[in-house]
Structure 1
């Protein structure tokens, strides 16, 4: 993650990252690069997670909230985004540069098989007092993630992959994402599957794609 951040010009951007990047050193690099961050918070950051969890849940009824509802595909979903910017009582925040906002996303899904509930936590350097801003950023991040996973399965049948031994599955995933990126650099108005097939039998086209590495 560190080399990637060094290679990208993120100044003035809002960087959204999964919990794998929830590390003080990565947060420091994002801020040093002139960017803001919204990062998923999970138990890998044990002390901060525990303090944020208890702090938000104890105060959520008195904090700014944004609610949204979605219906479609045979299910209904209600999201409640709660933010807290009073972090003076949280000792763990001292280790996280420019941490100004804690975010709680609560989701209730209704399907034909029943109702499920989930809670997710985030940390952010943003100071915007409107929880709808954080709701848009988090939903936008997951829209990108979901589209990527859908395309990996559609184009490369990743869900059917049976690689399990050692690092084989991770290595194959990295190669698929690299290939997907290269296919996406070609502006030709055809599907990714057709581009992949063309690259398999047209060496000139394959060479053109590889020049984008």
Structure 2
């Protein structure tokens, strides 16, 4: 690929590859200019132009970003202003969009309770009045905050997170989108000792929560998974899930939406599980594509070896019924992931084998490396989303028994999570260095002026 040229002779434009945590490379078009004060080049701007898969270094094989033309991006306050307020206009004292804006600002600062939101409102009313002319001149009570959060949770929680998040996504194909459930312990009752359950959809490449669905007492996660995927634009992505959601209905929805899947296979799909295991025991090794990684962290040494076989091996009279149930598997892959873990302190050795199926083409270059990174990326929904919501945003400590309040409060915390993730990505892209952690960003956002200016961008 030829190097782009700048119209300004004083500016120098170059392509730079930035490695991401999931193994992919972001290709950035970096514009720099010579600064006589430091006697060196200084970066003045950068632009994302494409992406390279794990193991690939040839820029001619770069996956370009899709054009964003035709879709006007809105700021966060503008997106909030589009929300429908079901209250009678005659009795509205606190506008819904401004109240929720304050709730998001408070979550970005690391506070979660309605009392803290009311106190933040009172302490920063003069600052907020500077940015929003129609901001109320009176303080708000914690009961009013709670009622408005319940109103969002009852009517518009799913539309709200979708409207926010679509402004933050990088328009790149082959993102990994993970589906998994999370129990909110703060909502546990005698009837629900584990608390209410929230099904989340997470983009591990952009580190953004795309959607959520609160699961009722007598409802099942499986019945909601396909509907949740059907409501999202996942074209060109790879969807992952655990064995619980490995269902034919979900896989069919994923393929219909123009995406690929990589799903775990266990005893709940007994026939498929037995067949995949059997092929790895009997098939000659010359057909297998494999890859291996070694990690030494957290007082343990982990060796992971992935082996991939073509799904077309099932294209026969005996297994054809199984193949028809899983669309995309005929051109896709059967996967075995073996993990050997050595505990450094004790010398204990653990061995684990897991099996997967995927619609990613077996003939695709670097398919073993790509699948290994995809499977590892699925755990980001636990480590980077669920854990952060519980620990950094105190989701397990918020007081909630009402399902509507839970839905509204959870989605507002995820909006704050998404904003901080985007701020981290922007800082890394602009500076070329690792960004501050999310707890450090919470401290930065305690400054109301800084937080509002960040939202406006």
Fold shared per TM-score above 0.5? yes
Greater mean alpha carbon deviation, residues 59-68 or residues 72-81: 59-68
User: How many Å separate the matches in 1 of 2:284 and 2:407?
Assistant: 39
Of 399, 402, 414, the residue aligned with 1:181 is 414
* Compared CA separation, residues 56 and 174, structure 1 to 2 (3 A): farther
SS at match of 2:336: strand
Q: CA contact under 8 A between 1:156 and 1:176: conserved in structure 2?
A: no
Q: TM-score, normalised by structure 2?
A: 0.37
Q: Which residue of the other structure, out of 304, 315, 318, is the alignment partner of 1:88?
A: 315
* Alpha-carbon offset, residue 176 of structure 1: 7.5
Residue 49 (structure 1) aligned with residue 281 (structure 2): no
Counterpart of 2:289? 64
Q: Hey, what's the Cα distance between the residues in 1 that align with 2:285 and 2:405?
A: 45
Query: Aligned in 2, Cα 1:48/1:145: closer, same or farther, shift over 3 Å?
Result: same
TM-score by length of 1: 0.74
Distance 2:277 2:408 in 1: 36
The answer (yes or no) to whether the contact 1:108–1:117 under 8 Å persists in 2 is: yes
Match of 1:134 among 367, 371, 379: 371
Q: 1:128 to 1:55 in 2, by over 3 A?
A: closer
How much has 1:192 moved relative to structure 2?
6.4
Q: In the superposition, relative to structure 1, how do residues 193 and 67 fare at CA in structure 2: closer, same or farther (>3 Å)?
A: closer
Equivalent of 2:355, from 116, 121, 130? 121
Partner residue of 1:164?
Answer: none
> Residues 191 and 83 (structure 1 numbering): CA distance in 2 closer, same or farther, change over 3 Å?
closer
Q: Which stretch of the first structure deviates more once superposed, 125-134 or 100-109?
A: 125-134
Q: Secondary structure at the match of 2:267?
A: coil
Evaluate the alpha carbon distance shift between residue 173 and residue 126 of structure 1 in structure 2; reply closer, same or farther with a 3 A threshold. Answer: farther
Deviation at 1:185, TM superposition (A): 4.0
Change (3 A) 1:179 1:25: same
Note closer, same or farther for the CA distance 1:55–1:172 as it changes in structure 2 (3 Å cut). farther
Q: Is the 8 A contact 1:183 1:195 kept in 2?
A: no
SS at match of 1:131: helix
Specify which structure has the bigger relative contact order, considering alpha-carbon pairs within 8 angstroms and separated by 6 or more residues: 2
CA deviation after TM superposition for structure 1 residue 126, in Å: 0.9
- Segments of 5+ residues of structure 2 without an aligned counterpart are 1-224, 425-435, 443-450
CA contact (8 A) 2:262 2:356 kept: yes
Q: 8 Å contact 1:51–1:92 — kept in the other structure?
A: no
Question: Equivalent of 1:103, from 311, 335, 351?
Answer: 335
Q: CA deviation at 1:148?
A: 2.0
* Separation in 2, partners of 1:53, 1:40: 12
* Structure with greater Cα Rg: 2
Cα distance in 2 for partners of 1:102, 1:172 equals 42
- 365, 381, 397: which is aligned to 1:144? 381
State whether residues 48 and 93 of structure 1, in contact with CA within 8 Å, keep that contact through their aligned partners in structure 2: no
* Residue of structure 1 aligned with 2:304, choices 79, 99, 102: 79
**Structure with the higher helix share, 1 or 2:** 1
